[in-house]
Each structure stands twice: as C-alpha cells, then as structure tokens.
Structure 1
Amino acid sequence: MSPPYFFGYGSLVNLGTHAYHDPQPARLSGWRRAWVHTELREVAFLSAVPCAGSEIDGLIAAVPGADWDALDGREYAYDRLPLLGAVAHGLRPAPEISLYAVPRSAQMPGSARHPILLSYLDVVVQGYDQVFGVAGVAAFFASTDGWEAPILNDRAAPIYPRHQLLEVAQRELVDHHLDAIGAKVIVVG
C-alpha cells in the first residue's frame, strides 16, 4: 500500500523546509490561496480557500508510514482535509492526498497587528521559483488573495523559523512582484 501524500501550496513547496519523500509538482482545482490570520498565530499566513474555477500549483509529497504527527504539528493552525480527485499529478496509482486549510470560521484578514512576514514570503517564492520557474512565481502571486495585509520586512533578522537564504535574483523577484501589486512593506523596528 502506498503512503498518503499531502498537497503543499506555500512553504511546503520549498524543499529546504522539509524532508518529505517523493515530492512531485501538482495542480489543485477548485481552490485559491489567501493570506489569513487566526487566533492561533501572531502573523498572517497562507491558507487554501475553496474557489470554483480556480487552480493553484503546488507539490505533493509522501507521508511515510502515514505518520502525520510531525506534519500536523507543523501545520497546527490548519485542519487536514482529504482531497478527492481535485489534484492533477503524475503518480500512478493515485495516492490518497490531504490538504491543510484554515476553517473559514477561524479566518481573519492580515493586518498591521498581524502582518505577512517577508521571510516567510521569501521561502514560498523561492520554492515556486525552484519548482515552477519565474512563470510559476507570477502564477503564485496571481492566485493568492489578501495582499492588502502589510508585509513586515524582517529579512535582516528573519522571524520565520524555516527561513532560507535567497539568491539576489530571488530577492529581486519577490520585490518586483510586491511592487507590481502595490504591497505595503513595513520595516521592523
């Protein structure tokens, strides 16, 4: 029996943030991403939200031995939901796939008190750049809502616990897209 898989659409796309097996590019239909805040975290973070006619790219990866404990711990602010036939990927036979999403009833928009961490966004964009290229990064920004939340520039002293070192071109790619959407970037301090 094959292990179950998860569908990652944010920091889990960046292979530098985890060691789950058999990562594969995939596309999820009927969902978008959104920056949200919950009472469980101090900052805004990505969630998947149902949205008919939308698609988001991401990665699927195996959860060896169906041992969800470590991943559930990492994704503690989310509910783990089964995805039935909504994920396009190249694996045969198709594995069981789950998605982590914040329940709608717990979602609040990001705000000045609950901003998006630039160190977190950098990790996500780096992952999309590595897996899907520059076009994939553009698709990430286009298929994500909630950019009204301010972006806290914590690059000099990253707050996000799984921050990664970005190449200059990757930082410039993030900054380019933030400028293009008119994001409000605030400096720590």
Structure 2
Amino acid sequence: MPSQPSIADFEQLAGSKDLVGYGSLVNRATLRTEIVAAWPARLKGWRRTWRPRPVMEHDSLAIPVPGTALTPSMLTAERAPESFIDGLLVIDFAANLPDIDAREFRYHRRDIALTDLEFISSGSASVSARAPAPDFNLHVYEARPEHPRAEGHSPILRSYLDAVMQGFLREFGAEGVHRFVAETDDFHTEIHEDRHAPLYPRAVTLSPAEIELFELSLGRRGRPSRS
C-alpha cells in the first residue's frame, strides 16, 4: 500500500500556485496526466452512488453490444452531510485542469477545503488537521443533475468496476474494498461481464487473489449479473 502523507509533504507543496488537487477514480494506473503526488484520503459530507450515465451527444461509451445499446452506469459523488467516502487526492499541475475538466464533462467541479479531508499518518493522527492550507485549490467532481438520465439498460461495466476496486485495494486494503461496496448506493445495479473483452478504455489486469476478494466483497450485496 502506498505510504501515507506527512506534514512535510504538504508543507513542501502548499506554497505553490501552479498546482491543483482533485479527487480521482482511486486507481493510479488509470491516471492519464503526469501528476505531482497522490494520497488516499477520506472525504466528509459526500456519498457515492451508481447512476445511469446521462444522455450526451457523441457519447464515446454508448457502446453497442448484441441485442442492446449499452449505456454504462457511472460512479458519482453526491453531497450527503453525514457520510464519508474513501478516495484518492491527486495533486496535479494546474495547467492540466482544462484537460481534466474535458474528461469529466459529465460532472461539475466543486471546491472543497483541506479540512473536508482526513489523512491518517503513521502516528494515527489526522494530518489535515495540522497541515498548512495550500495556496492551490482542491476539488471534487459531482455528477451534473441537469443532464437527463439514461433510460433502460444501464449496467455497471465489470471492466470499470475492476479498475475501481483494484484502486481501493491498493490504497485502503481489503477493508477499504468492503467499505467501498458498503458505502456506495445502488450496487444492486446489473453488472455487464466484459472482463474477457473490456469495454472500459482504461481496463486493468487482475490477479486471481484480487478476483476472489472482489467476488467475496460483492457477495455481501445481492445483485444480478448478466453475461
């Protein structure tokens, strides 16, 4: 598991105005920019849910499969005052923000504060409570409610779910995977089994142990599966 952040790490970065921090998919292997740093963190006041992808013109993931047009569900963060979600805080160059916004065009970029995040150092103390506030902005991407929701068939792509769950395992361990399943709404959504021929463009490769753990965790929640 990657090392946890330290006060010195934040002090070193906090004075730069050329950086930006944002929440990501969690799996570092799916990042597409040359980032500065990334740390696992817990965000207060938000909850994740599976949501049918909104209807968008020229949708690159409105993927045709035999017998149906597959519009995959997307994983979203939505405000929930009493909730917490695990995630990955990515520190990137501010010059990359337009490209990130373009990639996340289905989402609003919302400001968050360092105090909204909890990092646990090796001494089991909250780093965010003692770290200096950075001179750069921190963000989370929230699904745009104004976009019409997809109707009909909108499963979770197994290849996408694999990437997400692998990220949680690497950042938070097996208990983090179980928390992700438990703390995410609408996990009853159908899963489209595309692991053998991934439709998700940033698909990852799993070990047998990862597959076993993910199935165990998903088994804690009943959900139909579709081949």
Q: Note whether the superposition's TM-score is higher than 0.5.
A: yes
Indicate conservation of the 8 Å contact 1:111/1:150, yes or no. Answer: no
2:41: which partner in 1?
26
2:66: which partner in 1?
none
What is the CA-CA distance between 1:105 and the residue it aligns to? 3.8
Q: Which moved more, 1:172-181 or 1:133-142?
A: 172-181
Q: Compared with structure 1, are the counterparts of its residues 88 and 158 closer, same or farther at alpha carbon in structure 2 (3 Å cutoff)?
A: same
One of 93, 102, 116 as aligned partner of 1:86: 116
- The residue type equivalent to 2:102 in the other structure is G
- The residue type equivalent to 2:49 in the other structure is A
Indicate conservation of the 8 Å contact 2:47/2:85, yes or no. Answer: yes
User: Aligned ranges for residues 1-189 of structure 1 at < 5 Å?
Assistant: 1-2=15-16, 3-8=19-24, 12-18=25-31, 19-37=34-52, 38-40=54-56, 42-84=71-113, 85-89=115-119, 90=127, 92-95=131-134, 96-106=137-147, 108=149, 113-187=153-227
Counterpart-to-counterpart distance in 2, 1:94 and 1:183: 42
Listed as ranges, the gaps of 5+ residues in structure 2 are 1-14, 60-70, 120-126
What whole-Å deviation, never above 9, does each CA across 1:99-142 have from its counterpart, x for those lacking one? Answer: 1111234374x876111101100000000000100000011111
What whole-Å deviation, never above 9, does each CA across 1:122-173 have from its counterpart, x for those lacking one? Answer: 0000000001000000111111001121010100100000000011111112
Two-structure CA RMSD over aligned residues (Å): 1.9
Indicate conservation of the 8 Å contact 1:112/1:150, yes or no. Answer: no
Indicate conservation of the 8 Å contact 2:47/2:84, yes or no. Answer: yes
Other structure's SS at 1:155 match? coil
Counterpart-to-counterpart distance in 2, 1:94 and 1:124: 29
Other structure's SS at 1:50 match? strand
**Identity in percent:** 34
Indicate conservation of the 8 Å contact 1:33/1:47, yes or no. Answer: yes
Counterpart-to-counterpart distance in 2, 1:16 and 1:99: 19
Counterpart-to-counterpart distance in 2, 1:121 and 1:36: 13
Listed as ranges, the gaps of 5+ residues in structure 1 are none
Q: Compared with structure 1, are the counterparts of its residues 112 and 149 closer, same or farther at alpha carbon in structure 2 (3 Å cutoff)?
A: farther
Counterpart-to-counterpart distance in 2, 1:137 and 1:61: 19
Count of equivalent residues:
183
Other structure's SS at 2:220 match? helix
